[in-house]
Amino acid sequence: MDNIEEIEDRIEELKQEKAKANSAFTRSRHKLLQLLEDDLPSRRAVRGAQEILNKNQERAMELLSTLSTEYAKKKDKSMRQNVTTEMEKIDAELTEAQDRAQEYLDNRKDEASSIATMDSETVWQCRIKELRAREQAEALQMEVDKREQQMARMSKELQNERERLLTAQLESKERFKELNREIEN
Apex 32 CA angle, 29 and 35, nearest 5: 150
Ordered by start, the domain boundaries in the chain are 2-127
Over residues 11-36, the pLDDT tens digits come to 999 999 999 999 999 999 999 999 98
pTM metric for this prediction = 0.58
| Of the candidate ranges 33-47, 86-100, 136-150, the one whose mean pLDDT is the lowest | 33-47
Range 102-129 average pLDDT: 68
For residue 31, what pLDDT is reported?
94
- At residue 114, the pLDDT reads 47
More confident of the two residues 59 and 114 = 59
The pLDDT value recorded for residue 40 is: 80
Model confidence band, residue 119 (pLDDT cutoffs 50, 70, 90): low
Percent of the chain past pLDDT 70, that is, above it, reads 92
For 63-78, letters b (16+ CB in 10 Å) and e give bbebbbebbeebebee
pLDDT-based confidence at residue 110 (cuts at 50, 70, 90):
low
Q: What does the pLDDT look like over 56-72, one tens digit per residue?
A: 999 999 999 999 999 99
121-145 mean pLDDT: 84
Q: What is the pLDDT of residue 121?
A: 67
What are the φ and ψ backbone dihedral angles of 41, each rounded to 5 degrees?
A: -65, 155
